[in-house]
Amino acid sequence: MYRATDIRLGRKVALKVIAEHLTEDPEFRERFVDEARNTSAIDHANVVPLYDFGEVDGLLYIAMRLVEGSDMASLIKGEPLAPQRAISLLSQVAEALDNLHERGLVHLDVKPANVLVTSRESATEHIYVADFGLTRRGATGHRTRGGDFLGSPTYAAPEHLRGEPVDGRTDAYSLACVLFACLSGRPPFQGQVPEVIQGHLNREPPALTEFVSLPPAIDDVIRRGMSKQPGQRYASCRELIAAARQALTAPPRPVAPPRPQQTFQQFPSPSSRRRPPPGSRPGRSRSPRTATRSACAHRCPRAARRSARSAAETAGWRPCWSVWWRSA
């Protein structure tokens, strides 16, 4: 890709030229021509406009609008975007993709590097979806003649990786992966290419809230958007981003009110609750022995029985089994 000047119109353009060593590769030339035709067929505010296409000295070229800014991959760089900013940018991506799908086209290479962001054309950030080299009209995704996958496995849908039929929901899956990357600063699956592919084919996406503090409802949005079965995903890219916006603006979970602090009444210790010895009560006087016996009886039932037996024997009573009788 080059920054060039259209000498006929005197304007700056982005010039994409096929590499010289690929000019004799009929398969690559075919894909390059497809990109030019697909881009020229789309007239949308969020798609990079195509100005010219041709061949000079055996080299194919595409002249497009020069977007002054950066791509979304540069904005992330391991750091998440603010949720409001991410939704604002991705809602424009969703509009562009759904416009493609309404025309029967599937982008098949949705990733942060293909989303150009500029703030020089309006008061707010404006995005352009770029690189339509893999865009197809239904059928299956692009493959080399040897059957090798073409695209970015990091953001590819399972059916695209398997070479199965694709449609707009294939791009919606990729957009859900980009949403995950914008909000967390990393793609859903990381590692070597085989590990990433196995993640898309066989594993559930990680919970976004494990990496950043966001409303839990966003995990459900990502999980549905990255469903392995296209029929279980959102029907359109607009619907996906609308669900994400609602999840991110939902009120936080209510916090349970704190329990009232329990207070405990201070009771006197058992020792302080003991009755004073009978002999110490005012208005009563007992012999020390009787007072001592009564105090012991108060403290212990066994002592009470001994005290009662002693008193009965003193009065002349005799035990007979469990009955007391008095001798004549």
Name the CA dihedral angle for 42, 110, 32, 117, rounded to a multiple of 10 degrees.
70
pTM of the model: 0.73
Domains of the chain: 2-65 (3.30.200.20), 70-249 (1.10.510.10), 288-317 (no CATH)
Residue 220 to residues 1, 74, 159, 186, 200, Cα–Cα distance (Å)? 39, 27, 21, 18, 17
Closest to 160 in 3D by CA, of 107, 207, 204: 107
Rounded mean pLDDT, 319-326: 51
* pLDDT of res. 277: 57
Across the range 170-197, mean pLDDT stands at 96
* Angle 77-83-88 from CA coordinates, rounded to 5°: 95
Catalytic residue among 6, 34, 43, 109: 109
Q: Active site includes 43? A: no
Average pLDDT over residues 30-38: 85
* pLDDT for position 255: 41
Per the CB < 8 A criterion, the answer to whether 200 and 189 are in contact is yes
- Tell whether the model's pLDDT for residue 84 goes beyond 60: yes
CA distances for 74 relative to 113, 121, 135, 172, 185, angstroms: 8, 19, 23, 22, 11
pLDDT (average), residues 265-281 = 55
pLDDT for the residue 137: 74
Residue type, 114: N
- Compute the average pLDDT of residues 242-261: 72
Contact 227, 172 (CB under 8 A): no
Ordered alpha helix ranges (H), 203-266: 217-225, 237-249
Instruction: Report the candidate in 176, 150, 151, 152 with the shortest Cα–Cα distance to residue 228.
Output: 176
Check whether 328 has a pLDDT greater than 50.
Answer: no
Check whether 104 has a pLDDT greater than 50.
Answer: yes
